[in-house]
Amino acid sequence: MSFLRQRQLKGRNRSMAIKILIADDHALLRQGIKRVLNFEDDLEVVGEAEDGQETLARTLVLQPDILLLDLNMPGLSGLEVTKQLQAAKCKTKIIALTIHDSDNYVLEMLKNGALGYLLKDVEPSVLIKSIHVVNEGNAFVYPKLSERLFGGAAEGEDLTEKAREMWRESRSERLTTREMDVLACIAKGFSNQDIAQALCVSEKTVKNHLTNIFRKLNVNDRTQALVYVLKHKIISLE
């Protein structure tokens, strides 16, 4: 086969490739993922974003097939980006790619429209597989999380309604993603002012979140809340 013919075929494959936007505030991670994905002839990274507002804007403009979305980003969180994209009826399919392995994060992302949920230590082959599964309109959840939450490998199943049902069943005990963010900051030793700056909210909002956290966990202070969530593996110190 001639070199020109090979170039033509490669160009045709690229035109039919699954278009992907990578959203993460760590440039090194974005570049690593991009290198992995661009080795695949049927995958193409069409853009990157480093904060929530940029992610929202670029997704709406580029209309990628898949958005690989970190949850903790400056500005809008991954959850807020997901909610706003759903409200805008954006057809881009969302895969959360995060360090958070708590049930709260998984269920809240799935019930708000994400089709995939992966941890950042995922093997490249599993990441690639998840993109193909989700691009077909099916769900894909990181295997160990799927086993814990749904009792099996949740691949190709409609998990949105399952997640909503599980959330409703334990709604009084569930922490919101923002409350989880506050707890993660507490685990780092942040003051209310530090938390407010990190999450781009007011100190009054932080205090409101703390009040809700204490009520839901039935504890009286930060220390008790931190002990509770660590004991029950709701968050980790890693």
**Three-state SS letters, 85-102:** HHHCCCCCEEEEEECCCC
On whether both 165 and 181 belong to a single domain, the answer is no
Give CA–CA dist 172/148, Å, rounded. Answer: 20
Tell me what pLDDT residue 112 has.
85
Considering the domain boundaries, does residue 38 fall inside one?
yes
Average pLDDT taken over every residue of the chain: 83
pLDDT confidence of 6, banded at 50, 70, 90? very low
122 and 140 Cβ atoms separated by less than 8 Å: no
Q: Are residues 17 and 127 in the same domain?
A: yes
Q: Are residues 185 and 160 in the same domain?
A: no
Q: Angle between the 103-111 and 177-187 helix axes, to the nearest 10 degrees?
A: 150
**132 located within any domain:** yes
Assign 142 a pLDDT band (cuts: 50, 70, 90). confident
Q: What Rg value do the Cα atoms of the chain yield, rounded?
A: 19
Q: Please indicate, yes or no, whether residues 147 and 61 belong to a single structural domain of this protein.
A: yes
- The confidence score (pLDDT) of residue 100 equals 85
- Token pair for 65: 């097939």
Question: Cα–Cα–Cα angle for 73, 226, 184, nearest 5°?
Answer: 5
**Residues 182 and 163 grouped into a single domain:** no
Same domain membership, residue 200 and residue 154: no
Is-above-0.85 flag for pTM? no
Number of domains, the chain = 2
Q: Provide mean pLDDT across the span 64-86.
A: 92
What CATH number is given to the structural domain containing 187? Answer: 1.10.10.10
Domain that holds residue 115: 3-169
The span from the CA of 127 to the CA of 160, in Å, is 20
Same domain, 165 and 210: no
> How much is the average pLDDT of 74-86?
90
Distance from C-alpha of 157 to C-alpha of 147, rounded to nearest angstrom: 13
pLDDT of residue 204: 92
Residue 205: pLDDT band (50, 70, 90) is very high
Label each residue of 32-43 as H, E or C. HHHHHHHCCCCE
Q: Are residues 115 and 13 in the same domain?
A: yes
Question: What local confidence, expressed as pLDDT, does residue 172 receive?
Answer: 45
* DSSP label of 191: -
* Structural domain includes residue 238: no
**Does 214 share its domain with 158?**
no
Indicate whether 162 and 181 sit together in one domain. no
Q: Are residues 186 and 163 in the same domain?
A: no
Q: Is 237 inside any structural domain? A: no
Quick one: 196 and 158 in the same domain? Answer: no
